[in-house]
């Protein structure tokens, strides 16, 4: 380093220290503060430089509402040899700036390992967003690992890998749309490797209020497979994304409890097109779900890279909407004969009267077209119509006209 460079570095350090002194911020050694993205700014702590636990009282002006821990390669312990966080339970939500969500991001160094424990995030219940980025989680996701957060608006795990998932990994966690800017209510796992090709039964059950689940671009030991009960408890979910997972099919009824679902992303999957596997086409049509990317066949070979709808309508027998029950199919819906003729024949009477009125109207319109010169006026009301013809004189017409005119 040249003398000029040393002077520049020293001056920069002095300037930053002066700004810190003037603005009144304080933070632990190994951390820094930046308000470049807004105020309150972001505290960034270098895992290789800080001494755990991070202590709440060492942050001030502002409070640690937005916190990043980067360059992680190791453990974030719960208690031994020390906790990772201390005193953060004294943070009051009344101190939060409502223009920004309270957020924690955990970022690993290249190929960095992250080991989490139940209790790692003790005291951080005020946080509203959690993101874990590019971490090799060799210890997997332990039971109740996120329970200290209570409610989160979003939990995003992006990049890296997870060695194991447990049925109770998400126990104690509630993800829901919070009253924050750009609320999402989202759980996401994206661009990461899993050691298996499925999720344990019950893994997503705690997320009963989640609005969006995103499972995109997951590298699994084989083609991703989802059990039929995967989303049984996620009844408030509106968005489900399963893109780029080499899915070959989904089990029948995997979407059956998702009454709120209106958006489904299946882009980039290799569907095995069989009539049994394409039950989903009927479901998304019946439930009016918007599908992004569509479903594209990878097999059989005659339909490779063709839309699944082409295979379905060419090969599969079309369902009878009435399923053998006598009735009439209108717009894909079955109107059974008991529905049509029920209520003591009232529906039948209404149907017959409607037909009579329709025929009468059609005949009248035809008559008007055949004798246009004989029609001098048409009187129309909400209760019916009456024609007056022009061949007879006014006196004759007045004589024929009843004194109490009624519309029919």
Residue-level pLDDT at 347: 67
Environment class of residue 173 by beta-carbon count within 10 Å: exposed (0-12), middle (13-18) or buried (19+)?
A: buried
Which 3 state secondary structure label does DSSP give 378? strand
Q: What is the pLDDT of residue 380?
A: 37
Task: Select the more confidently predicted residue: 9 or 269.
Answer: 269
Could you tell me the pLDDT band of residue 232, with boundaries at 50, 70 and 90? very high
DSSP helix/strand/coil, 347: helix
> What's the whole-number mean pLDDT along residues 274-298?
92
Residue 304 has pLDDT above 80, yes or no: yes
CA 184/CA 157 separation, integer angstroms = 15
In this structure, of 6-10, 61-65, 140-144, 329-333, the range with the lowest mean pLDDT score is: 6-10
pLDDT of residue 403 exceeding 60, the answer is no
Decide if pLDDT at 153 tops 70. Answer: yes
| Dihedral pair phi/psi, residue 325, rounded to 5° | -80, 135
Among 50, 48, 41, 46, residue whose Cα is nearest residue 19:
41
53-111 pLDDT, tens digit each: 999 999 988 999 999 999 999 999 998 788 999 999 999 888 899 999 999 999 999 99
Distance CA 287, CA 395 (A): 65
3-state class (DSSP) for residue 261? coil
What is the percent of the chain where pLDDT is above 90?
Answer: 64
Classify the C-alpha dihedral 36-37-41-43 as positive or negative. Answer: negative
- Which range (20-29, 234-243, 358-367, 399-408) has the least confidence? 399-408
pLDDT of residue 327 exceeding 80, the answer is no
Residue by residue, what is the 3-state secondary structure of 26-95? ECCCCEEEECCCCCCCEEEEECCCCCCCEEHHHCECCCCCEEEEEEECEECCCCCCCCCEECHHHCCHHH
SS3 3: helix
- Please answer whether residues 111 and 134 qualify as being in contact, where contact means their C-beta atoms are separated by less than 8 angstroms: no
**What's the pLDDT tens digit per position in 95-115?**
899 999 999 999 999 999 999
* Per-residue CA distances from 30 to 8, 19, 54, 71, 101 (Å): 21, 17, 10, 12, 24
- What size, in residues, is the chain? 408
For the beta carbon of residue 256, count every other beta carbon within 10 angstroms: 12
Measured distance CA(177)–CA(118) in Å, rounded = 24
Percent share of the chain, pLDDT over 70: 75
State pTM to two decimals.
0.74
- Over 90: is that where the pLDDT of 249 sits? yes
Instruction: Tell me: pLDDT of 379 over 60.
Output: no
Q: CA distances (Å), 44 to each of 14, 28, 58, in order? A: 19, 10, 13
pLDDT at residue 294 in the model: 84
pLDDT level of residue 406 (50, 70, 90 thresholds): very low
Q: Are 25 and 65 in contact (CB under 8 A)?
A: no
What is the Cα Rg of the chain in Å?
Answer: 34
pLDDT exceeds cutoff 80 at 12: no
- The pLDDT of 265-291, averaged and rounded, is 94
Q: How far apart are CA 168 and CA 189, in angstroms?
A: 17
Burial class, 247, CB count within 10 angstroms (exposed 0-12 / middle 13-18 / buried 19+) = buried
- pLDDT reported for residue 241: 98
Residue whose pair of structure tokens reads 């810190």 in the numeric block: 20
Distance CA 98, CA 65 (A): 10
List CB contacts of 24: < 8 A, sequence separation 6 or more: 60, 61
Q: Give the per-residue pLDDT at 4.
A: 46
Q: Give the side-chain half-sphere CA count within 13 A for 385.
A: 10
Q: Give the integer Cα–Cα distance in Å for 143 and 372.
A: 84
Residue 213 β-bridge partners: 187, 240
Alpha carbon separation from 348 to 338, 352, 361, 392 (Å, rounded): 10, 6, 20, 42
Q: Identify the pLDDT of residue 309.
A: 93
Higher-confidence residue: 168 or 408? 168
| d(C-alpha 320, C-alpha 349), whole Å | 27
Q: Is residue 126 within 8 Å of residue 91, measured between CB atoms?
A: yes
Query: How does residue 399 score in pLDDT terms, banded at 50, 70 and 90?
Result: very low
Mean pLDDT of the chain: 83
Q: 107 with 69: CB under 8 angstroms? A: yes
Closest Cα partner for 219 from 154, 141, 162?
A: 162
Confidence of residue 246 (pLDDT cuts 50, 70, 90): confident
């Amino acid at each position: 380093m040249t003398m000029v460079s040393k002077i520049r570095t020293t001056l920069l350090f002095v300037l930053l220290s002066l700004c810190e002194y003037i603005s009144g911020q304080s933070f632990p050694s190994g951390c820094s503060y930046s308000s470049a993205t807004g105020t309150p700014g972001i505290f960034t702590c270098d895992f290789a430089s800080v001494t755990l636990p991070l202590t709440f009282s060492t942050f001030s002006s502002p409070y640690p509402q937005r916190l990043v821990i980067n360059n992680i390669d190791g453990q974030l312990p719960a208690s031994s040899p020390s906790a990772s966080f201390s005193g953060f339970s004294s943070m009051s939500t009344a101190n939060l700036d409502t223009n920004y969500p309270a957020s924690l991001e955990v970022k690993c160094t290249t190929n960095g390992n992250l080991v989490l424990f139940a209790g790692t995030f003790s005291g951080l219940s005020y946080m509203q967003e959690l993101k874990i980025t590019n971490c090799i989680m060799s210890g997997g996701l332990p039971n109740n690992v996120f329970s200290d957060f209570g409610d989160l608006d979003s939990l995003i795990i992006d990049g890296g890998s997870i060695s194991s998932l447990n049925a109770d990994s998400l126990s104690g966690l509630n993800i829901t749309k919070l009253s924050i800017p750009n609320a999402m209510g989202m759980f996401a796992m994206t661009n990461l490797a899993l050691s298996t090709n499925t999720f344990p039964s019950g893994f997503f059950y705690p997320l009963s209020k989640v609005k969006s689940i995103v499972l995109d671009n997951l590298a699994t030991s084989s083609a991703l497979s989802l059990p039929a009960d995967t989303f049984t408890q996620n009844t408030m979910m509106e968005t489900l994304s399963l893109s780029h997972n080499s899915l070959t099919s989904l089990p029948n009824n995997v979407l059956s409890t998702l009454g709120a679902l209106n958006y489904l992303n299946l882009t980039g999957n290799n569907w095995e097109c069989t009539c049994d596997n394409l039950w989903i086409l009927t479901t998304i049509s019946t439930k009016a779900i918007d599908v992004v990317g569509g479903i594209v066949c990878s097999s059989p070979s005659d339909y490779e890279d063709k839309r699944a709808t082409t295979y379905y309508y060419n090969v599969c027998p079309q369902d009878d909407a009435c399923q053998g029950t006598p009735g009439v199919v209108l717009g894909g819906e079955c109107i059974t004969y008991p529905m049509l003729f029920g209520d003591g024949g009232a529906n039948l009477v209404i149907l017959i009267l409607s037909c009579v009125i329709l025929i009468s109207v059609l005949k009248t319109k035809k008559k008007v077209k055949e004798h246009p010169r004989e029609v001098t006026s048409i009187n129309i009301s909400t209760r019916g119509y009456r024609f007056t013809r022009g061949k007879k004189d006014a006196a004759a017409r007045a004589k024929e006209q009843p004194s109490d005119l009624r519309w029919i």
